[in-house]
């Protein structure tokens, strides 16, 4: 499974990239706003740091505006992926862009039927928001299981990008279900490495190492 980082913080991306396992980046207007910088500047910096896919979201809700913004964003760097909302105009834009050879990430997916339509429109990625489903009393990972089954039934090329990830458990379940990608906050990436028995083992090794004669 590919691991993306979900942030617009260049420092977080730089640190995550040092692990050597980062495959891409997802951003959104909320994340960019937190930086206090212009969107284009942020995206340019990210694309220089990460050679993999970088999702950049359009702001318009109308088809013509989406297509105009998509072309502007795609011109920033060859690894830009256009992020579009799962609306009627968003699906139309997805189809237009796919036909033009532009990669897309259809976001704010909360149902398998939404994901079916996105796949039929040729979306490169579909972003189901598991954490937000959990917040309203649904099991977000049930949606991932449904998408893996549906996409597998019909050999759709659309990749399942698990989004709104809150915990390492979300990541584990995504891997076990066979999702293509999970996009994680910086803090969750760090938690994937943590286990108390690892810490205890290191402490014991270091304590024993001090007992080894040096001469």
Active-site option among 2, 18, 34, 83: 83
Phi, psi of 17 (to 5 degrees): -65, -25
DSSP H helix total and E strand total for the chain: 11, 8
Looking at the structure of the chain, the number of domains it has is 1
In this predicted model, what pLDDT tens digit does every residue of 160-207 receive, in sequence order? 999 999 999 999 999 999 999 999 999 999 999 999 999 999 999 999
Pairing outcome for strands 54-57 and 181-184:
unpaired
Pair of tokens at residue 185: 């906050």
* Residue 38 belongs to domain with CATH number: 3.20.20.70
Residue 83 is a catalytic residue: yes
Is residue 214 very low, low, confident or very high in pLDDT (cuts 50, 70, 90)? Answer: confident
In this predicted model, what pLDDT tens digit does every residue of 157-170 receive, in sequence order? 999 999 999 999 99
Give the whole-angstrom CA distance, residue 122 versus residue 67. 15
Q: Answer yes or no: is 68 within a domain.
A: yes
CA dihedral of 112, 189, 36, 67, whole degrees rounded to 10: -30
Terminal-residue alpha carbon distance, the chain: 48
Q: Answer yes or no: is 215 within a domain.
A: no
In this predicted model, what pLDDT tens digit does every residue of 38-88 receive, in sequence order? 999 999 999 999 999 999 999 999 999 999 999 999 999 999 999 999 999
């Amino acid at each position: 499974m590919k691991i993306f980082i979900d942030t617009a913080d260049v420092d977080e991306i730089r640190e995550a990239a040092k692990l050597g396992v980062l495959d891409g980046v997802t951003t959104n207007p909320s994340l960019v706003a937190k930086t206090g910088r212009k969107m284009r500047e942020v995206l340019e910096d990210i694309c220089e740091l990460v050679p993999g896919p970088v999702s950049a979201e359009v702001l318009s809700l109308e088809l013509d505006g989406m297509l105009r913004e998509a072309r502007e964003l795609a011109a920033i760097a060859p690894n830009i992926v256009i992020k579009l909302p799962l609306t009627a105009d968003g699906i139309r834009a997805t189809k237009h862009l796919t036909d033009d050879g532009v990669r897309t990430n259809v976001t704010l997916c909360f149902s398998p039927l939404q994901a079916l339509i996105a796949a039929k429109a040729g979306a490169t990625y579909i972003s189901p928001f598991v954490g937000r489903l959990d917040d309203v009393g649904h099991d977000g990972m049930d949606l991932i299981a449904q998408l893996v089954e549906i996409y597998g039934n019909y050999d759709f090329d659309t990749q399942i990008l698990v989004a709104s990830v809150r915990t390492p458990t979300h990541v584990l379940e995504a891997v076990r279900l066979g999702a293509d990608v999970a996009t994680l906050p910086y803090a969750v990436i760090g938690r994937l490495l943590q286990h108390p028995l690892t810490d205890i083992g290191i402490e014991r090794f270091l304590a024993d190492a001090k007992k080894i004669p040096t001469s």
